[in-house]
């Protein structure tokens, strides 16, 4: 179908009776039609047609995101940065992975310049924390804790504000690129990082939401006691990348529900269902 025929097809969206068939025909063309639809949106003076174009474009983009997220879970889950990028494309569909990768690499080199590979792990962690939180001024977004932006890695890179899991992900991605055995840990109502070197029988924990504070297993025991939850091995050991992405999605659901954006919350629930939750 050429541009002229597509233009005629879009013009028929004004007809309520024909609309279902027209939308079905447009959906069948796939994401290749999105740039044309965006042009038609800009050229239209009919608010109702613009709204219908927006709905079609969003549906196409959302279906693509579901396909990409399923593919990530199936064969690309070793790439956590890509998983975080995919989540961000829910709000920012034009966001490129290349942009996120550049932002991460710039952050990494800032920390790498001050990093000493032979230092004690405690000192290595303190170097990362100092650079990330003091020099680069990343911090916890306590004022707007439930903002959806806290879960969008592009927004966290730009604002330097995030929730526990977003800050932890950035921290651990940098640390892992520096060859440190650092991983995420799913705690109830919170997310932390663990440094674990079984060969040296060394394990401790890092709170990225509190400027990289180092703490111990006993501190986790105390935390669980305060919230009346029995200890479980999963509260002390590394979780998977798919666990992390699923938790980010759960956080997003809560964020949208608190904003009364229930349609978005329901869509994110569809994304979470990909992970079996």
| Same domain (yes/no): 48, 93 | no
| Same domain (yes/no): 72, 207 | no
pLDDT tens readout for residues 38-82:
887 777 767 777 888 888 899 999 999 999 999 999 999 999 999
Tokens of 47: 């608010």
Predicted model pTM: 0.90
Which residue range is the domain that position 108 belongs to? Answer: 80-273
The secondary element (H helix, E strand) that includes residue 162 is strand 161-162
Coil, helix or strand at residue 274 = coil
Q: Are 132 and 147 in contact (CB under 8 A)?
A: no
88: pLDDT strictly greater than 70: yes
pLDDT tens readout for residues 149-202:
999 999 999 999 999 999 999 999 999 999 999 999 999 999 999 999 988 899
pLDDT tens readout for residues 220-244:
999 999 999 999 999 999 999 999 9
pLDDT tens readout for residues 191-226:
999 999 988 899 999 999 999 999 999 999 999 999
**In terms of Cα–Cα distance, which of 214, 138, 200, 126 is closest to 169?**
138
| Same domain (yes/no): 234, 103 | yes
Taking all residues of the chain, what is their mean pLDDT, rounded to a whole number? 93
List helix spans (H) across the chain. 3-11, 19-28, 34-43, 47-71, 80-91, 97-112, 121-129, 153-159, 164-177, 217-226, 241-258, 262-273
Residues 6 or more apart whose Cβ sits within 8 Å of residue 276: none
| Same domain (yes/no): 123, 72 | no
User: Which is higher by pLDDT, 1 or 273?
Assistant: 273
| Same domain (yes/no): 177, 120 | yes
Residue 94 and residue 108: Cα distance in Å, rounded? 24
| Same domain (yes/no): 213, 178 | yes
| DSSP designation for 238 | P
84: pLDDT strictly greater than 90: yes
| Same domain (yes/no): 67, 85 | no
The secondary element (H helix, E strand) that includes residue 214 is strand 213-215
| Same domain (yes/no): 42, 107 | no
| Same domain (yes/no): 118, 146 | yes
What's the CATH number where 155 sits?
3.10.620
**In terms of Cα–Cα distance, which of 212, 201, 207 is closest to 136?**
212
| Same domain (yes/no): 64, 135 | no
Q: How many domains does the chain have?
A: 2
């Amino acid at each position: 179908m050429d541009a002229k025929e597509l233009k005629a097809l879009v013009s028929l969206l004004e007809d309520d009776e024909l609309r279902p068939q027209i939308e079905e025909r447009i959906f069948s063309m796939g994401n290749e039609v999105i740039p044309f639809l965006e042009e038609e949106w800009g050229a239209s003076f009919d608010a109702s047609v613009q709204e219908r174009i927006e709905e079609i474009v969003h549906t196409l983009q959302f279906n693509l995101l579901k396909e990409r997220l399923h593919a990530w879970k199936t064969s690309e889950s070793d790439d956590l940065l890509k998983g975080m990028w995919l989540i961000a494309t829910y709000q920012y569909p034009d966001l490129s992975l290349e942009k996120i990768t550049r932002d991460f690499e710039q952050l990494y080199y800032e920390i790498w310049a001050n990093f000493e590979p032979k230092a004690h792990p405690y000192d290595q962690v303190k170097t990362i924390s100092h650079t990330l939180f003091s020099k680069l001024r990343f911090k916890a977004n306590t004022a707007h804790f439930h903002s959806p932006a806290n879960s969008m890695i592009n927004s966290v890179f730009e604002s330097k504000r995030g929730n526990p899991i977003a800050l932890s992900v950035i921290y651990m991605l940098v640390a892992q690129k520096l060859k440190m055995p650092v991983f995420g840990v799913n705690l109830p109502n919170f997310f932390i990082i663990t440094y674990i070197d079984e060969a040296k029988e060394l394990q401790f924990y890092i709170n990225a939401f509190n400027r990289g504070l180092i703490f111990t297993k006993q501190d986790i025991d105390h935390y669980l006691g305060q919230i009346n939850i029995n200890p479980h091995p999963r509260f002390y050991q590394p979780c998977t990348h798919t666990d992390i992405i699923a938790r980010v999605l759960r956080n997003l659901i809560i964020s949208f529900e608190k904003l009364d954006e229930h349609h978005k919350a329901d869509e994110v629930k569809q994304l979470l269902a990909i992970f079996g939750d």
